[in-house]
Amino acid sequence: MAVPAAAAPDQNERLDLAAAEAGPAEVRPGPVRDYSAASRERRLAEKGMAAGSPVMIRIFKAEFELELWMEKGGRFELFATYPICFWSGRLGPKLREGDRQAPEGLYTVGVEQLHRKGRHPRSLNLGFPNEFDRAYSRTGSYILVHGGCRSIGCYAMTDPVMEEIYSLSESALSAGQERIQVHAFPFRMTEENLALHKRNVWHSFWLNLKDAYDAFEHARLPPRISVCGRRYVVSEGSPSSAVAGDHGLACNSSDMVASHSGETNNELQQVAEAEAEAVARRHSRSAGRGRGARAAYAAARRARSRTSSLARAKRAAR
């Protein structure tokens, strides 16, 4: 079973740790401490990139990392890897409103999902629940990638980091990108990581997410994605679909046959088991709180009784 996520360390501590662990073979950009507009323009120029180019985002829960990729020369290249300051819940998808669980899945962000007001004036609404989530009757709303370092179901990036993510996303959408793909994964979808979690109730769901992970890793283009029979159906993208953020694949007969297979039924059973487990945990906590409240009440009554006895004894002594 997956280990519940611990609270994120202080951001500077995470940056220092990442810098210390990054060896000469590290291919991802190192941590950036200066997220000012001037620093951003300089880093873009160093990579031969420009604000307004199409963007793609990948989130990795277990690694506490968010990657921002940008189109360059017909393919996408990694612009920056940002430390996620905090996410709530555990590995696995969001199931219902109020479960305080950060979602996993394949989402898109359009210009209407850019938030410029509220507690965190720069944020991206992931559009949860998407078509896949709705197929499983999952509920929730206002699930964001936002600033700050607190969250009850979102991904908190700190304000300076979020300002940069928001700026590049807004520039891409303003320049003509229709939708930005945001892929939220439990961890980097390697064979080794999946093997470590093969007994997890969400393993088959993660195998489905791996289709999108592999398609992007191979082509370096946002994949084409649709939802057929309660599964993500993925194919490699093209430069035109990268701009469109295309989620418009048509379901074919083989997809529909797969959707009625035992694997899908197994996934439905996994959802039911996970929901039953969540209900059991809530009942257990409620029972624990009830026992604790009763014990505290009884202790308070005993304390009041002792106080009253002492007071009566003092009055009698006078």
CA distance 174 to 53: 10
pLDDT for 121:
84
- DSSP string across 123-151: EEE--SS-HHHHHTT------EEESSS--
pLDDT for 262:
39
pLDDT for 12:
40
pLDDT for 293:
58
Give me the architecture of the 11-191 domain, per CATH: Beta Barrel (2.40)
The secondary structure element, H or E, covering residue 305 is helix 262-317
pLDDT for 1:
44
CA distance 101 to 105: 13
pLDDT for 238:
81
What is the reported pTM?
Answer: 0.73
Burial class (CB in 10 A: 0-12, 13-18, 19+), 303: exposed
pLDDT for 119:
83
pLDDT for 23:
35
pLDDT for 250:
58
CA distance 152 to 155: 9
Angle between helices 37-46 and 159-174 (to 10 degrees): 60
pLDDT for 258:
45
> Catalytic amino acids?
146, 154
Chunked into runs of 10 residues, the chain (318 residues) has average pLDDT values of: 40 40 39 85 97 98 98 97 97 97 98 89 96 97 95 95 98 97 98 97 98 97 95 88 61 50 47 55 55 60 62 62
